[in-house]
Amino acid sequence: MERALHLGVAGATGLVGGEFLALLEKRRFPLASLRLFASARSVGRRLRWGAGEIAVEDLATADPRGLDVLLCSAGKRVAAEQAPRFAAAGAIVIDNSSAFREDPAVPLIVPEVNGARLRDWLAGARSGATLARGGIIANPNCTTIVLLLPLDALRRAFGLEEVVVSTYQAVSGAGREARDELLGQARAFSLGEPETWRHYDRPIFLNVIPKIGDWVGADCFEEVKVVRETRRILGAPDLRLYATTVRVPVERCHSASVFARLGRPATEVEVREALAGAPGVALEDLPTPRELARREEVFVGRIRVGPDDGRVVRLWIVSDQLWKGAALNAIQIAERIAADGG
């Protein structure tokens, strides 16, 4: 039975924070109350909500009591400090950072893929009709979420032996500074002025940079996250998954070129049926990121089987990484909590 929730949004003034507010409104999220949190320097700002405004509170010093759920997109370091504080006060914190994703006690959830894990966790946290205690749920990495919906559909239908993925990731995945850096470079270039950069070590305009996040051995951190989180959510610790993550001069929506070797041969018709029937997935002949911003689905196109081996499937995947890759996935988790009776 759905219950309206006392909801908080942490990182409300950031890129993902703005998407939280847009989606709460778009999806008519059942709200009993809404509080907004950000860093100290945003305190005093008032953000538009419905017909009115809500004053931003300092996440670090705000009273954590009284929230059912906190949607947290405040960065890894801040989340590591603040999420436990809000959880101890009784909130379920759905955290968008990588701070808790590798903690085996913290569920890492894509509702369409491992919603059952969320149900079990909620049952364990429950006492009678309401939650007895708070806790932390981790929202996976944006690229992981976007890949998982079609990969899980293939895995359920045919099994999955090996996946090779190369990504084409939008700058907004790195936050507002990176987004503004790209647009600023485009403007400077067009006006014949010198381009500047700080987030990346070179221009991203008219460029592609095959490294996202810090180095972790021969991989970059984004690749490590995609591999570890995908294996964990699928419960497939030995899945052969090879990721190369690349930043491209796109403002919004991540794309990925995927090669998958299935457990058994399939026809193109079977593959299309499996994908078309997967929750959250939409087929599109030629999905491209600029045209699919602010859409909720993971779009899959360029579906090819073979040609010589019916176990080889190739896909081109596009999805709004600020929505399904971040804010929307977290809100879908919160919706399940609300539907579950809170």
Q: Which amino acid is it at 163?
A: V
CB of 245 to its own copies, least distance (A): 10
Cβ atoms of 149 and 298 within 8 Å: the answer is yes
Nearest to 328 by CA among 116, 125, 25: 25
Query: Which of 3, 89, 244, 340 lies at the binding interface for its own copies (CB under 8 A)?
Result: 244
Strand pairing category for 126-127 and 130-131 = antiparallel
Nearer to its own copies, 209 or 331 (CB): 209
Nearer to its own copies, 80 or 186 (CB): 186
Query: Which of 43, 89, 125, 312 lies at the binding interface for its own copies (CB under 8 A)?
Result: 312
Over its C-alpha atoms, the chain yields an Rg (Å, rounded) of 20
Name the strand (E) or helix (H) holding 107: none
Cβ atoms of 100 and 81 within 8 Å: the answer is no
> Is 251 near its own copies (CB under 8 A)?
yes
> Is 203 near its own copies (CB under 8 A)?
yes
Nearer to its own copies, 273 or 340 (CB): 273
142 in catalytic set: yes
Cα 171 from Cα 96, distance rounded (Å): 17
Nearest to 283 by CA among 317, 312, 324, 310: 317
> Is 132 near its own copies (CB under 8 A)?
no
Nearest-5° Cα angle at 73, 150 to 206? 65
> Is 168 near its own copies (CB under 8 A)?
yes
Q: Which of residues 15-54 bind its own copies (CB under 8 A)?
A: none
Q: Which residue has the tokens 């913290």?
A: 106
> Is 72 near its own copies (CB under 8 A)?
no
Count of residues making up the chain:
342
CB of 242 to its own copies, least distance (A): 6
Nearer to its own copies, 251 or 340 (CB): 251
> Is 164 near its own copies (CB under 8 A)?
yes
> Is 240 near its own copies (CB under 8 A)?
yes
> Is 291 near its own copies (CB under 8 A)?
yes
Query: Which of 27, 77, 187, 264 lies at the binding interface for its own copies (CB under 8 A)?
Result: 187
Q: Which residues are catalytic?
A: 142, 254
